[in-house]
């Protein structure tokens, strides 16, 4: 298929591009390189530097490439940042998505795979969280994703758009060639590995008074490669109907458990410092992914946190300064 990947120079988009190219698809990466890296664009994919904030950029990319489907990764995705800069999220995640959706509509691109988030579930009634859970966004970031999810539904009703909303829990890990390189780095696993590499003195633990077994937040870490396998399955299945899935391993690990696993894998003591809670962080987020397992036969290969951290450690050790 001809697939346009927005944000294909970023962490998750770069792995998607790698996998799609590997599977023989014709891929065009569209990225403004604000957060992404040109070096992260998988070999074999075409690249255009463009900004979704500029409707003409995406319009001409779509008119020229004529994709059959879009995978839309380009977005801001920091819960904490969205609590201090909500307009950035309204603009980059909502207005820019509108520019993309309008260009797709103008050029009859009828399929989209949309990166959504577990931050839709700040106050879940049941754990693990399935797709029937009510949506209570935990932050402007979660809200921005929820708005687009709802709008995809309406574009499907009014225009026949086919969509998949994939709600990522905590994406982590790396392939042999693509890993996580944010600047500044704010995510737990890469920060812990930077400590192990001697690039930081310690890792701060944001809150140890949550209602969880050890007091630190519990998250469901999912390997980025498993995440992308779900995208490919969802794309293949769109002819049979729209899809909405929660994507995780169904198992939660606390911040302290992640650090302990990283100590074993890296052999480094990884000192910790207790810090206040980070605004917007729910105590526990664990996914039920039964629906995609049953409907599409999704079968994540990296179920253990150790396996996930090992792949991240291999990548960070090979790329201590990032790309
Ligand atoms: N944490 C620390 N210290 C740090 C960094 C993180 O204690 O230095 C804690 C956080 O408070 C949180 C956990 O580690 O409890 C994981 O934090 P991350 O920043 O790695 O990930 P988040 O859970 O905040 O967010 C990630 C994605 C979001 C997505 C969310 C869904 O970044 O886009 O998962 O669960 F919405």
**Is the domain of 187 the same as that of 280?**
yes
- 58 and 107: one domain? yes
Domain coverage including residue 125: 2-171+222-246
Give the end-to-end CA distance of the chain in Å, rounded to a whole number: 28
Residues in the chain: 323
Residue 289 within a domain: yes
Query: In CATH, what number is assigned to the domain containing residue 274?
Result: 3.90.25.10
What is the reported pLDDT for 30?
99
CA-wise closest residue to 308 among 122, 173, 114, 109: 173
Residues of the chain with pLDDT under 70: none
Measured N-to-C along each axis, helices 305-318 and 255-266 cross at an angle, to the nearest 10 degrees, of 60
Same domain as 288, residue 201: yes
Residue 241 located in a structural domain: yes
- Residues framing ligand 1 (Cβ under 6 A): 77, 79, 117-119, 169-170, 186-188, 191, 203-206, 217, 219, 255, 278, 281, 285
Atom of ligand 1 nearest to the CA of 142: 36
Indicate the DSSP class of residue 25.
Answer: -
Co-location of 165 and 20 in the same domain: yes
133 lies in some domain: yes
What's 147's domain CATH number? 3.40.50.720
Please indicate, yes or no, whether residues 23 and 144 belong to a single structural domain of this protein: yes
pTM: 0.97
**Cβ contact 244:306 at 8 Å:** no
Question: Does residue 74 belong to any structural domain of this protein?
Answer: yes
Is residue 296 domain-shared with residue 183, that is, in the same domain? yes
> Is there a single domain that holds both residue 181 and residue 241?
no
> Rounded to whole angstroms, how far apart are CA atoms 51 and 164?
23
Residue 323 lies in a domain: no
Residues 123 and 231 in one domain: yes
pLDDT of the residue at 120: 96
Number of domains in the chain: 2
* Catalytic position from the list 11, 89, 141, 302: 141
87/180 same-domain check? no
Note whether 241 and 312 are same-domain residues.
no
């Amino acid at each position: 298929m001809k697939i346009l990947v927005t944000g294909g120079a970023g962490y998750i988009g770069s792995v998607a591009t790698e996998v799609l190219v590997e599977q023989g698809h014709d891929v065009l990466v569209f990225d403004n390189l604000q957060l992404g890296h040109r070096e992260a664009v998988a070999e074999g994919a075409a690249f255009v530097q463009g900004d979704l904030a500029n409707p003409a950029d995406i319009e001409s990319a779509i008119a020229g490439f004529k994709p059959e489907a879009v995978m839309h990764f380009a977005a801001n995705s920091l819960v904490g940042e969205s609590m201090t800069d909500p307009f950035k999220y309204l603009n980059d995640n909502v207005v820019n998505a509108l520019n993309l959706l309008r260009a797709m509509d103008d050029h009859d691109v009828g399929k989209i795979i949309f990166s959504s988030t577990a931050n839709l579930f700040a106050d879940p009634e049941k754990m693990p969280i399935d797709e029937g859970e009510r949506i209570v966004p935990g932050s402007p970031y979660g809200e921005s994703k929820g708005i687009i999810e709802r709008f995809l539904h309406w574009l499907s009703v009014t225009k026949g758009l086919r969509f998949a909303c994939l709600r990522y829990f905590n994406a982590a890990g790396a392939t042999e060639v693509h890993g996580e390189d944010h600047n500044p780095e704010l995510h737990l696993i890469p920060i812990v590995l930077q400590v192990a590499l001697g690039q930081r003195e310690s890792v701060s633990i944001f809150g140890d008074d949550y209602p969880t077994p050890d007091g630190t937040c519990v998250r469901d870490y999912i390997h980025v490669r498993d995440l992308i396998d779900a995208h490919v399955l969802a794309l293949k299945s769109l002819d049979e109907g729209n899809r909405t899935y929660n994507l995780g391993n169904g198992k939660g690990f606390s911040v302290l458990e992640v650090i302990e696993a990283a100590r074993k894998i890296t052999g480094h003591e990884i000192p910790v410092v207790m810090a206040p809670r980070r605004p917007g962080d729910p105590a526990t987020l664990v996914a039920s992914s039964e629906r995609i397992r049953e409907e599409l036969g999704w079968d994540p290969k990296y179920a253990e946190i150790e396996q996930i951290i090992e792949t991240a450690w291999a990548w960070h050790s090979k790329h201590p300064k990032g790309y």
